[in-house]
Amino acid sequence: MEFEPTEEVKEPPRIHRLDESVVNRIAAGEVIQRPVSAVKELVENSLDASSTSISVAVKDGGLKLIQVSDDGHGIRYEDLPILCERHTTSKLSKYEDLQSIKSMGFRGEALASMTYVGHVTVTTITRGQLHGYRVSYRDGVMEHEPKACAAVKGTQIVIENLFYNMIARRKTLQNSTDDYTKIVDLLSRFAIHHIDVSFSCRKHGAARADVHSVATPSRLNSIKSVYGLSVAQNLIKIEAADNDPSSSVFEMDGFISNSNYVAKKTTMVLFINDRLVECTALKRAIEVVYAATLPKASKPFIYMSIILPPEHVDVNVHPTKREVSLLNQEVIVEKIQSVVESMLRNSNESRTFQEQAVEASPSVPPVTSNDLDVSPLPS
């Protein structure tokens, strides 16, 4: 078959400016990729508001309803009109502030985005007020004047019908159990890092919470209550630090699983400067050590908190802030990898030694390696 070359030269299409509502909805789809991204933004807002208790309720994997309630400082009445406009924030004033920002949020986009792809209702009360206010938003603006209402301390934000106006997105998210699992996983991660805050997460109307943590001074206790005893009793405490400006400056502390822990998938809970992030390079580096050191080929459980000077972390590299970029990342990864390796070898050797000792003298009570660097867990 032969194609005849087209004689006709195509006219360039006209360029026009997109409607602001289209721009906003497209941008919103990027910030709120799925229900769990909305929950993450809301919980981070609650943390930024100095809450000590945060509870999440979810219907239909978040597509029908997401409700996040906190006991934080609340939102001023005067700010309610611009609360859900794009680029309105209380956390950042000038670009340079990004260098030293401590809050999770700074883009002023999360709430706005939610109003472009869902129906948002805010109930909030600030300290010393006799009553709170409730107001609903659509496409960045209030649907009506805030109404006075009874309220306890803090803020409750409800999102209904997420992605009601994004048919393709809704279709791909129909499997609602999937996102509920992701939400439970997210809250579990927050809970074991922010141990001074109590978290709960449940399906709307359910009596039992699927995540339930109470504030505790012990990280290990928190891991036990969230991930269970089988995880908590098989952890080794790990620490590393460097303070050499020519190579790297960081402090790391956390827990990694020992050789008794068995899992098919890696769980890596990583916070960098208190931000929940992912770092594939670090995860791979640790997995390599586990594969090479442990005979059972189990995948690890890792909780790690890394603190760096704020000016060494670029927090503005991802629309959902899922990743950050670090100065001297390679050096830091290598250093942490070698500390993991030596901790693991030590724990492995003492375990082999203990097992031999147990075999040799059956009268000795069995020894497990959970006494390695792990403070005892209350029963």
Q: Which residues bind ligand ADP (CB under 6 A)?
A: 41, 45-46, 49, 70, 72-75, 83, 89-91, 105-112, 155
- What's the rounded Cα separation, in Å, for the pair 75 and 238? 39
Query: Which distant-in-sequence residues (6+ apart) come within 8 Å of 132 by Cβ?
Result: 74, 123, 124, 125, 148, 149, 150, 151
Q: Is 115 in the site for Mg ion (CB under 5 A)?
A: no
| H helix intervals, the chain | 20-31, 35-48, 110-117, 167-172, 176-193, 219-227, 229-232, 280-293, 329-360
The CB-of-109 to Mg ion minimum distance in angstroms stands at 8
C-beta of residue 63 within 8 angstroms of C-beta of residue 170: yes
User: Rounded distance, CA 161 to CA 159, Å?
Assistant: 7
Which partner in Mg ion, ligand ADP, none is near 179 (CB below 5 to 8 A by kind)?
Answer: none
Q: What are phi and psi of 146, to 5 degrees?
A: -60, 135
Minimal distance in Å, beta carbon 116 to Mg ion?
A: 15
CB count within 10 Å of CB 65 equals 18
Q: Which CB sits closer to ligand ADP, 103 or 233?
A: 103
Q: Kindly tell me which of 150 and 364 has the beta carbon lying closer to ligand ADP.
A: 150
Task: Report the candidate in 320, 301, 357 with the shortest Cα–Cα distance to residue 113.
Answer: 320
The reply to whether 157 sits near Mg ion by the rule CB under 5 A is no
Say which entry of Mg ion, ligand ADP, none residue 300 contacts (CB below 5 to 8 A, set by partner kind): none
Partner touching 119 among ligand ADP, Mg ion, none, CB below 5 to 8 Å by kind: none
Strand, helix or coil at 164? Answer: coil
Provide, rounded to whole angstroms, the least separation between the CB of residue 269 and ligand ADP: 22
DSSP structural state of residue 77: G
Is 105 a binding residue for Mg ion by CB under 5 A? The answer is yes
DSSP state of 67: E
Write down the least CB distance from residue 26 to Mg ion, Å: 20
CB closest to Mg ion, residue no: 105
Tokens standing for residue 82:
């611009």
Q: Which segment (4-12, 52-60, 101-109, 235-243) binds Mg ion by CB under 5 A?
A: 101-109
Q: Which residue number, 142 or 304, has a Cβ lying nearer to ligand ADP?
A: 142
Based on the shown chain and the rule CB under 5 A, indicate whether residue 45 belongs to the binding site for Mg ion. yes
Following CA atoms 18, 21, 24, 26 in sequence, which dihedral angle do they give, to the nearest 10 degrees?
Answer: -70
Nearer to Mg ion, 34 or 224 (CB): 34
CB 70, min distance to ligand ADP, A: 5
CA distance 252 to 297: 25
Please report how close the Cβ of residue 372 comes to ligand ADP at its closest, in angstroms: 40
Residue 120 binds what, of Mg ion, ligand ADP, none (CB under 5 to 8 Å, by partner type)?
Answer: none
72 binds Mg ion (CB under 5 A): no
How many Cβ atoms sit within 10 Å of the Cβ of residue 249? 18
Asked if 110 interacts with Mg ion (CB under 5 A), we say yes
Q: Where are the beta strands (DSSP E) in 132-234?
A: 132-138, 141-142, 147-149, 154-160, 198-203, 211-213
- For residue 111, the minimal CB distance to ligand ADP (Å) is 4
Q: Where does this chain touch Mg ion (CB under 5 A) — which range of 55-63, 94-102, 107-115, 314-322?
A: 107-115
Residues that bind Mg ion (CB under 5 A): 45, 105, 110
